Amino acid sequence: MNVIECRGLSKSYRRKQALSNLTFTIKEHTITGVIGRNGAGKTTLLKTIAGFYRPSSGEIKVFEERPFNSIKVSQNMIYIDDQINLPGSLSLLEILHMVGRFYPNWDQELAARMLDYFSLNPQQRHHLLSKGQRSTFNAVIGLAARCPLTIFDEPTTGMDVAIRKDFYRALLKEYLAHPRTILLSSHLLNEIEDLLEDVLLIDQGKLKLHLPIDELKEYAVAIVGTKDLVGWMTAKREVLLEQQTGVNMYTAVVRRDESILEEARQHGLQVHPVSPEDVCVYLTKQTKGRIDDVFNRTEL
């Protein structure tokens, strides 16, 4: 069963094309990473899926309904980010009891245990928390709600490394115990890749790729050798990155295939794997040239 179906989805506002002709599906009971640089359109996409934004064109269905103003979608979805507006007059514990009334699968005991584990004072007020503490409390709500569709939009903003690791561990344990469809946006793919089943890469509002994480791990390789030999080897292939990496050494990142691996080894070239995060960086490169060019002065 597909929980989310997008066909030609586009969203524009204030003369800006935030999403452009996106077509993809998200299956039930999967964890999908929505990956992209800042400003790529991740939040616009997630808020459109959540029903907060009406699409400008194309079609989107969530639980087989158009999500905008859909009661069914609202009842079965929770959207977590660092901008949640919660009442300042209530304590954290009172907020948990209030939120729990909206979600039929809510686990108050789990929420209370996580509050204690993360050293969050249940009598504290939400607006008095630090940025990292607010993100942690918001994440607790997202996990304890156990919604069929759970959307985490950059949920770890402000968290330190140890808390982020604990959150990811808690998310995985909750998912295994109570499967649901989870969308997790981030620009730090290396932190979450072990959680993911699929990756949805967004670049300037367009869908760059949608792959299982295992395929993304095999997407590209780095070929290292002399410039002439590396250039000859990659001349007719899709090159994601090329740069000088030593006095006489040159590196090119190319789409992986068995023929290039064999040829590279035959000619004495080094072959190295490329991480999923680096692949996403290379595929969404928006700057001109390389950072090295900034330091190369042209004498007039």
Q: List pLDDT tens digits, range 66-125.
A: 999 999 999 999 999 988 888 888 999 999 999 999 999 999 999 999 999 999 999 999
250/3: higher pLDDT:
3
127, 211, 220, 253, 279 from 260: Cα distances, Å: 56, 22, 11, 11, 17
Using DSSP's 3-state secondary structure scheme, residue 24 falls into: strand
Average pLDDT of the chain is 91
Alpha-carbon distance 168 to 182, whole Å?
12
Question: Tell me, what's the pLDDT at 227?
Answer: 86
Instruction: Tell me the pairing of strands 198-203 and 239-244.
Output: unpaired
> Regarding beta strands 220-225 and 181-186, do their DSSP bridges make them parallel or antiparallel, or are they unpaired?
unpaired
Which pLDDT band holds residue 148 (cuts at 50, 70, 90)?
A: very high
Per-residue pLDDT band for 300 (boundaries 50, 70, 90) equals: very low
- In 122-246, the DSSP E strands lie at 149-153, 181-186, 198-203, 206-212, 220-225, 239-244
Strand partners, 273: 221
With vertex at residue 52, the alpha carbon angle to CA 168 and CA 7, rounded to the nearest 5 degrees, is 85
* Percent share of the chain, pLDDT over 90: 72
Instruction: Say how far apart CA 142 and CA 239 lie, in whole Å.
Output: 40
Total residue length of the chain: 300
| Global confidence as pTM | 0.91
Taking the alpha carbons at both ends of the chain, their separation in whole angstroms is: 64
User: For residue 287, with 0-12 CB atoms within 10 Å meaning exposed, 13-18 middle and 19 or more buried, which class applies?
Assistant: exposed
Average pLDDT over residues 272-284: 93
Pick from 42, 55, 105: nearest CA to 76: 105
> Which of helix, strand or coil describes residue 200?
strand
Query: How far apart, in Å, are the Cα atoms of 16 and each of 11, 56, 67, 94?
Result: 9, 11, 22, 40
Distance of CA 130 to the CA centre of its chain: 24
- pLDDT surpasses 90 at 188: no
> DSSP 3-state assignment of 19?
strand
Task: Report the C-alpha gap between 63 and 53 in whole angstroms.
Answer: 17
DSSP type of residue 284: T
- What's the pLDDT at 281? 92
Residue listed under structure tokens 């245990």:
113
User: Distances from the Cα of 294 to the Cαs of 8, 61, 247, 298, in angstroms?
Assistant: 38, 45, 19, 10
What contacts 153, CB < 8 A, 6 or more positions away? 42, 43, 46, 47, 79, 80, 81, 185
Token pair, residue 166, equals 């604990």
